[in-house]
Amino acid sequence: MGAAIGEMLPLAIGIAISPLPIIAVILILTTPQARTNGLAFLGGWLLGLAVVAVVVLIITDAAEAATSSDSSRIVSVIKLVLGLLLLFLAWRKFHKRPGPGEEAPMPKWMAALDRFTPARSVAVGALLAGPKPKNLILNAAAAAGIAQSGIGGLQQAAVLILLILIGSIGIIAPVAVYFAMGEEKSARVLGGWKTWLAANNGTVMNVLFVVFGFVLIGNGIGGL
């Protein structure tokens, strides 16, 4: 179980460092329905991560990745491909970066956050957690690694829960700060986080793509 946690941990941290979703939840916490929509967004995020991780875990287990050398090799190839995909995303993001002194535009849906309902907050949280390329790749790789580790079902479930919780720290933290400090006191802290993330979003994402791209490539090559 320790080996499974060790392999999963850096990938979970990579999921947690998601500037755009963190900015989104901080903005939600400045709206009139901050309490309900903030918790709804967090719930959607947890759901999105859980669905992807569980599906990948079930598929990998079904292929008997932990006991079959052929299946294990397939998982290693998948990790290698996912790593190369992350490097491609880093290259594409670098070439689409804003010019000097320019800021990357925020998604248009962020302008409507103050009109979000709890249901829409859940949906957006789930979509940002699950299908987004970086999270999808890291989450899938972590879940495949858990299945490949050969640990039992209960231990797999425990590591999977840990993956989801660690991968959600970036969203849990602003919500926790809001409820612990209150609306007025938390506004200054969360505002500082938002400003820094907005200014450094592109750099943070490129570094994550490159670092975890090489991590997955190394894991893939090591398993072949």
Angle CA(58)–CA(59)–CA(61) in degrees, nearest 5? 65
CA distance 48 to 124: 10
pLDDT averaged per 10 residues in sequence order, the chain, 224 residues: 84 92 94 93 97 89 56 75 89 72 69 88 94 90 84 88 95 96 89 87 85 86 75
What angle separates helix 153-167 from helix 169-223, to the nearest 10 degrees? 120
For 6, the 3-state DSSP assignment is helix
CB 5 within 8 A of CB 151: no
The pLDDT of residue 180: 94
CB 133 within 8 A of CB 89: yes
Predicted structure pTM score: 0.85
The pLDDT of residue 13: 93
The pLDDT of residue 177: 96
Q: How many helices (H) and strands (E) does the chain have?
A: 8, 0
CA distance 22 to 17: 8
